[in-house]
Amino acid sequence: MTTAEFIKILQESDPKGTSHIRMEGGIPHFAERKPGYYDGPYSYIDEDNNYVTSTEGDKVDIHCIDVSVHVENLMCRFNNLEDVKKKFIFNIGNNQDRVDRVMKEVESVYKDFKEMDDDMYERQLEEAIKKADEGHRYFQNKEVDNIPEGELNNHIYYTWKFMSPLGEVENFSTPWKTQPILQSDLWTRVDNGEMQGYYEWIWQPIKIEITDKDDAQVHNAMKYWFDRITKNDK
């Protein structure tokens, strides 16, 4: 089915265009045009009622959101389960069984993603600390402050620049590289003019002293960060 044929079907079914769409696979979120061969073939029913699988021409991928995807999109390191639950609203009368099923799925998905997220963050932070110790520098695009609240802001995690100890600049940035810088409180954003149009995030390792007088729990926590971050002798 082509996009024109799909639009025609929708217009015939709902001429005013005010109804919500329900489809298998979740809630339609956005569409993306690609070459037919990219990411695998596509399928359609031709005029002779044949089921055709092809890589020719172009295709449009319609990306959908289900419960699992929505939970993943909502999660960040400082969201808790209750914050995520608030983003699920039900206008289905007294169908409490349906509500309970959905919320049970939300809790299960959150738990799984939280475990993976925590593990990923620890590895992200360890890699960022290693790079900082080696003299790598981090620069964030100042446009991050010019995107209206509520709109997609790619400058938060993307569009950064990284400078090696030799002064070589890398433009490729991902949340893997930038999330620990933003969230660990071990870097501070400054407007120092070192790179035009960019803030620099300055690495500030925590330096502490460990003594036998410390409470055992505090002692262990401080020693953990002392060993991992400063790497200096006590």
pLDDT digits (tens, 9 = 90+) for 54-72: 999 999 999 999 999 899 8
Rounded percentage of the chain residues whose pLDDT exceeds 70: 85
Q: Per-residue pLDDT for 94 more than 50?
A: yes
Q: Tokens 């919320």 sit at which residue?
A: 103
pLDDT, position 210: 47
Mean pLDDT of 195-214: 73
Backbone angles phi, psi at 38, to 5 degrees: -75, 135
Helices 67-74, 96-133: axis angle to 10 degrees equals 40
Strand pairing of 27-35 and 58-65? antiparallel
pLDDT, position 174: 87
pLDDT digits (tens, 9 = 90+) for 28-46: 988 999 999 999 999 999 9
User: From CA 137, how far away is CA 16, in angstroms rounded?
Assistant: 54
User: From CA 78, how far away is CA 3, in angstroms rounded?
Assistant: 40
